Structure 1
């Protein structure tokens, strides 16, 4: 998931700050692979990251650059079968629900230790859930614990309903997790990086829950910045902010197949063209989301361009609170008809991209096959604006800088294409651009933008993970609370998610998708794109994931 939500780390006296600005420069160093053979023989793999991680505690993370690092160090009870969005055993070897679907019994893998030597067992599992559910203060907010609030809901403070009810260690290798209601997303959601198991000892020692609001952002404890402690095949070594370099080392005590790499290095290189140059120079051996126009040239230079299946959606978000004109459905429909999505797909997105008919990919149960791409029709758009009395209104249009996302390879070019389309039907465009991790996400979520670029890469294969995440709560970034149908949509999504019968649940989601597109239109789905990952010629052992969930521990690098 590369994610689309907001956290901000702000300086504090004894707390290491994770900021994009401190890590933005590309520094050359001798980190080419193939040197180390200790134990695994995979050497050093250096990956060019597009941005700095916000925080190294995955529970508080929301962004893809954090998860790219933490998924190498942490494991959850549930994982995903490599190359798919299908749940698979991880720290839990098996699980089964009770007849009512509320109690899930997990059998745990034995002989597992955290990187600090703490035993992983049922007690550690429950301590992790107690920590997540028991957040207080700033931690018990969507701005900090976004994945928990999106997937589990409330905390022990009782301010919101919680999916999670309790955790019981029945014996060292058996744990019961009890839910308050049936949901289609459990236990797949436990495969999310945010719900990885972390060392209770390290979290206590370094005060993992010590999160404080400061200014417009938050500060985190030294656990979240210096001592992330999981069970994975690689473990944290250092984060040199001055050089924008994160180093992980092989976990020699790993419970499974040992890492082939002796070291994994992430170098933070925000500029995509610079990442390509560094790959050409041999300073890095891989980077994510290469510009689609560079794919053939990269392959011509002897590199690999591994294309993932498209499991995402790119959308133009709309917010009637920032632009009151958008409260009128005709205005939203006018924007939809004004945008030439097919042309955008053909000229701005990679081969294999498709214009979106709805907010979920066609491989997800609940996809409505009867929906078609709304036609590009500037004259109809003008007529709708006239009927709404909104001719010549000014749209507050935001787009991000310093970012490349799987669904959005070149935000500025996409903005320019849409601006041209909107201005052609008489809509005035007032642009605002801010760095992705430097104000854009925070201020979009705060409701400053009338229209904005965002998207979503699925976390797991359910409709709820897409449209439930977007519209399940009326106080979302689309501000559906502003519409008379906002509560109805949220209620319908909750009902569908709690439907046990799979066929019945899929039919409910199909009906909801039709209403979203034909009656509600809270945003405009633009496209589904197959993102790629670029690798140097001598790199082996990377399995492309539709979730962008690649693990690097089995990588080998040869010159």
Structure 2
């Protein structure tokens, strides 16, 4: 076995982080300031605005950011991510070992941890969570319900599709052994993602957590996911007043780590970005996510803290080859790329710190290749390539989303307008189609209705597979590479790279793949990496920005 303290875990290195203990100097000083070690007052309520309602509070069945924002405060995983980074670190597992082939993982668990309902967190609880995920039946096996399991582990116990998961065994009270069917670059990092948080086996059994039902064209989830989510985190669920747009969490006094200073953490749903800003200015809320970049300077001048994240995302112009045969010509796709003035777009439409993208992964991710084929802004070159391909009369259905703000796409309307102008300047006829993000846009994209579309991705973890594997490992993807002769080839190459246990070999394989994607395949056009922000009042302390947009409010205080 390879020990995680001395070798690369997730077949990469992690840094163990110790907890710091605050020492009270004197009762008088404590009474005078009522301040904790980070300078914030003990007690009070922090109210943070959310852009939308969570799907539910059981993160295993979720795929939306608003569910995950709440879930990260209630639940913890075996692994986590070092604050302010995308690097894996211990969480409920203090350390782990893995076999040389990367298929057997032994997790050594933290002692003295309890779930919010008093259930002990131990190896038995770990295996019950894995078995819950793997043994989904009926509607639970639908990719729309268990998306993160399907995307990362594949199939279920029914055997309909192969699964990365093989078994979980209780070695002793505080040691669990997880066996995989293959090595993967994602493990154990993926266990730090919200969907793979540890949940109380007692609560899940009591409230029938797996009882997902099909209701017409949608799914109905059990009471557990709406009213009884039970984890080990610093906050526990209190109430969800959907009519008044309020989600309330309270301090978990038996938390195993440093207890939060806040009495309550409230998420208030305010869909409109302008309304969120006004609520902040009026003092009704303490902060919100994704302020418009054009407001950053004014917010800072007004005394608010605009907290910038490191870029860990990709915004791209997607190309669907399903219906428009001219887009299957590599020359046409290269022509479109040369037509786009990405430098100007980044300067005019994106926040400070944004960068032009050259490939589908950020620079900080292993496998990034600086020597990929570059596509400078060159309208004449674009026209030439279109002519050579017999596509000077190219017409495209260009989809863009309304009613949404994404970390990589702060203003879809204006970004679409800039890209449309560039395309029309080289003779491309653009038919604009817009639909609400959650009102048909994503469904149409997935069904291949668009020729061109705006989309992006914020990384879940620091692995190349989480980017290019997510996009292209399944040949039946949003780019519909099944119609391209190289679609199956790219899919197979990505699977081989992900399963390579030798880190150096794997990194080189991804570098070569990034070269091929950008020169030989070009299934879409990477545009930019953005640095999104949060904004909070001046008395909010201890909020560490996450490149994964997965901020933890446990260390936060006010005053």
- TM-score normalised by length of structure 1: 0.91
In the alignment, the residues of structure 2 paired with residue 441 and residue 114 of structure 1 have an alpha-carbon distance, to the nearest angstrom, of: 36
1:373 shift after superposition? 4.1
Q: Secondary structure at the match of 2:318?
A: strand
1:241 match: 242
Cα deviation per residue 1:528-552 (whole Å; 9 max; x = unaligned)? 1111111111100101111111101
CA contact (8 A) 2:96 2:105 kept: yes
* Structure 2 residue 460 is the aligned partner of structure 1 residue 459: yes
Which has the larger displacement, 324-333 or 403-412? Answer: 324-333
CA contact (8 A) 1:320 1:479 kept: yes
1:517 match: 518
CA contact (8 A) 2:307 2:535 kept: yes
1:438 shift after superposition? 2.6
CA contact (8 A) 2:395 2:428 kept: yes
2:402 match: 401
1:22 match: none
Cα deviation per residue 1:348-375 (whole Å; 9 max; x = unaligned)? 0011111100001111111111125411
1:385 shift after superposition? 2.4
2:509 match: 508
Q: Secondary structure at the match of 2:335?
A: helix
* Structure 2 residue 227 is the aligned partner of structure 1 residue 226: yes
In the alignment, the residues of structure 2 paired with residue 496 and residue 325 of structure 1 have an alpha-carbon distance, to the nearest angstrom, of: 31
1:18 match: none
2:536 match: 535
In the alignment, the residues of structure 1 paired with residue 140 and residue 290 of structure 2 have an alpha-carbon distance, to the nearest angstrom, of: 32
Which has the larger displacement, 333-342 or 353-362? Answer: 333-342
5+ residue gaps in structure 2? 1-32
Within-5 A mapping of 1:231-310: 231-310=232-311
CA contact (8 A) 1:40 1:262 kept: no
Within-5 A mapping of 1:429-508: 429-508=430-509
How many residue pairs were aligned?
524
Q: Quick check: which has more Rg, 1 or 2?
A: 2
2:104 match: 103
In the alignment, the residues of structure 2 paired with residue 144 and residue 36 of structure 1 have an alpha-carbon distance, to the nearest angstrom, of: 44
1:123 match: 124
Which has the larger displacement, 355-364 or 236-245? Answer: 236-245
Do the aligned partners of residues 551 and 328 (structure 1) sit closer, same or farther apart at CA in structure 2, a change above 3 Å counting?
A: same
In the alignment, the residues of structure 2 paired with residue 213 and residue 434 of structure 1 have an alpha-carbon distance, to the nearest angstrom, of: 25
CA contact (8 A) 2:103 2:179 kept: yes
1:112 shift after superposition? 1.5
- TM-score normalised by length of structure 2: 0.91
Cα deviation per residue 1:179-216 (whole Å; 9 max; x = unaligned)? 10111111111111110011112222222222233344
1:556 shift after superposition? 1.2
Q: Secondary structure at the match of 2:151?
A: helix
Cα deviation per residue 1:426-460 (whole Å; 9 max; x = unaligned)? 22222222222233223322322222111111111
1:390 shift after superposition? 2.9
Q: Secondary structure at the match of 1:545?
A: coil
CA contact (8 A) 2:189 2:461 kept: yes
Q: Secondary structure at the match of 1:359?
A: coil
CA contact (8 A) 1:42 1:555 kept: no
5+ residue gaps in structure 1? 1-33
Q: Secondary structure at the match of 2:468?
A: helix
* Structure 2 residue 412 is the aligned partner of structure 1 residue 411: yes
1:402 shift after superposition? 1.9
In the alignment, the residues of structure 2 paired with residue 540 and residue 235 of structure 1 have an alpha-carbon distance, to the nearest angstrom, of: 21
CA contact (8 A) 1:36 1:44 kept: no
Q: Secondary structure at the match of 2:244?
A: coil
